[in-house]
Amino acid sequence: MTSRDIKRVIDVMYLILLGASIGGILTLGIIMTSTIFNSELYIGPLLSHYQEGQIMAQGFNKFSYFLGFMAVVIAAYEMYSYKILQRDNTVMVATFISLSTIALFIGVYTPKILAMQAQSEAASESVAFQNLHLGSELDFKILVLALIVLMFRRLYVLLKGRTA
């Protein structure tokens, strides 16, 4: 296998990981939330809204480990791509936004939400919690958009470089 072939494999793996990240975010944000917060439709009124929120938070907490891994992958890949002159302003902006929103999600939002939920049910019903939760939702939406832009723009740059 030549170094060019290895680079192609790495490029494809990177794009697959970006796609998996996008899929994970969309699955958590659309499927998991609508299922868990409507659990009474499936199992009856066994769980309170607070308990459903605790389950949700654990799902997002576990996913934050994958996002931490992805932050390392994105940073390493994009720094190397910059070094070998596969530069693109859109990719750089999308990379910065992706890394920033991942850092906010795993370093600020997830720990604070878990800490407030651990305090009490009343803490998770407070205005502060609602604002924090709204911020985390917005952060997650910005992240998925940034990852979509990053994935498709990186694909464009890679394909453009192959034909040049």
Domain limits, the chain: 3-163
Least confident piece of the model among 2-16, 90-104, 150-164: 150-164
Tell me, letter by letter, the H, E, C secondary structure of the chain: CCHHHHHHHHHHHHHHHHHHHHHHHHHHHHHHHHHHCCCHHHHCCCCCHHHHHHHHHHHHHHHHHHHHHHHHHHHHHHHHHHHCCCCCHHHHHHHHHHHHHHHHHHHHHHHHHHHHHHHCCCHHHCHHHHHHHHHHHHHHHHHHHHHHHHHHHHHHHHHHHHHC
Confidence (pLDDT) at 163: 58
Q: At residue 24, does pLDDT exceed 60?
A: yes
**Model confidence at 162, in pLDDT bands (50, 70, 90)?**
low
pLDDT digits (tens, 9 = 90+) for 49-82: 888 889 999 999 999 999 999 999 999 999 999 9
Q: At residue 164, does pLDDT exceed 60?
A: no
pTM for this model (two decimals): 0.91
Average pLDDT over residues 84-108: 95
